[in-house]
């Protein structure tokens, strides 16, 4: 079966995985903060066969502006060099895919964004699919939107603190978890999902 390379750089994580169908061949996973540009290609090169694959899946965001662009640039370049197909997925969907179903049937994912906001989206778990749209909101506004008792991700604690009830859990995306995503959520166009309007405003 043709191999797939999964790339995750949209958060503080730099994570790559080489997969044969749903079987994990090898992975590299590190919390690097801002060091994605320096770590990504060496991590790919450390995979069997230098990570070469027939298809590449890359996290398109939301998350770090720089991290998203580093991953997309690498995926596009490798796809061109290897004649590989390139597709995308969302960081929030990947975190939700790894969440256990504890009887609620839904989960909310919240990760840190810019300007004191958090990226938040709700998901059903069986099957995994988004409930509503991705939003970038202040914690207080996100708290009014989210009714799930469990919130996962780097922005979960801020949301739960603003809401005053529920459970915040840490959660970071891992490239190897791409096998948990349904096909529709692992076939996004390989372009950035910024989740909020750009900071720069056109001059009148």
Q: What is the DSSP letter of 8?
A: E
* Position 186 pLDDT exceeds 50: yes
Which two structure tokens, joined as six digits, stand for 7? Answer: 């790339």
Pairwise CA distance, residues 186 & 182, whole Å: 7
> pTM above 0.85?
yes
Domain boundaries, the chain: 3-90+173-186, 99-169
- In this structure, the strands spanning 23-31 and 118-125 are unpaired
Least confident interval from 57-61, 106-110, 121-125, 197-201: 197-201
State the first-to-last Cα distance of the chain, in angstroms, to the nearest integer: 54
Question: So what's the pLDDT on residue 2?
Answer: 93
Q: Identical fold at 3-90+173-186 and 99-169?
A: yes
Q: Is the dihedral of CA 112, 178, 183, 126 positive or negative?
A: negative
* For range 108-133, the mean pLDDT: 93
Q: Which of helix, strand or coil describes residue 96?
A: helix
Fold of 3-90+173-186: Nucleotidyltransferase; domain 5 (3.30.420)
pLDDT digits (tens, 9 = 90+) for 151-160: 999 999 999 9
pLDDT-based confidence at residue 196 (cuts at 50, 70, 90) = low
Pairwise CA distance, residues 154 & 86, whole Å: 27
Query: In Å, what is the CA distance from 74 to each residue of 71, 129, 152, 174, 188?
Result: 5, 27, 28, 17, 17
Mean pLDDT of the chain: 92
Q: Per CATH, the architecture of 99-169 is what?
A: 2-Layer Sandwich (3.30)
Question: So what's the pLDDT on residue 100?
Answer: 84
* For range 40-59, the mean pLDDT: 98
- In this structure, the strands spanning 13-20 and 118-125 are unpaired
CB 93 within 8 A of CB 122: no
Per cent of the chain over pLDDT 70 is: 95
pLDDT digits (tens, 9 = 90+) for 64-98: 999 999 999 999 999 999 999 999 999 999 999 99
Peptide bond between residue 160 and the one before it cis (omega within 30 degrees of 0): no
pLDDT-based confidence at residue 102 (cuts at 50, 70, 90) = confident
Q: What is the DSSP letter of 185?
A: G
* Position 202 pLDDT exceeds 70: no
């Amino acid at each position: 079966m043709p191999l797939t390379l999964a790339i995750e750089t949209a958060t503080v994580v730099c994570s790559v995985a080489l997969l044969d169908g749903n079987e994990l061949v090898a992975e590299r996973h590190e919390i690097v903060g801002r060091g994605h540009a320096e770590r990504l290609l060496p991590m790919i090169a450390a995979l069997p066969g230098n990570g070469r694959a027939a298809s590449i899946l890359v996290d398109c965001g939301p998350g770090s502006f720089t991290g998203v662009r580093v991953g997309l640039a690498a995926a596009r370049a490798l796809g061109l060099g290897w004649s590989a197909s390139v597709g995308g997925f969302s960081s929030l969907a990947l975190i939700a895919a790894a969440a256990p179903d504890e009887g609620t049937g839904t989960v909310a994912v919240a990760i840190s964004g810019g300007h004191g906001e958090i990226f938040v989206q709700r998901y059903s778990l069986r099957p995994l699919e988004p409930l509503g749209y991705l939003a970038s909101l202040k914690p207080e506004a996100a708290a009014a939107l989210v009714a799930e008792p469990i919130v996962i991700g780097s922005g979960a604690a801020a949301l739960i603190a603003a809401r005053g009830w529920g459970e915040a859990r840490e959660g970071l995306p891992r490239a190897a978890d791409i096998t948990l995503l349904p096909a529709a959520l692992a076939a996004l166009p390989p372009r950035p999902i910024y989740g909020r309007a750009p900071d720069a405003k056109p001059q009148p």
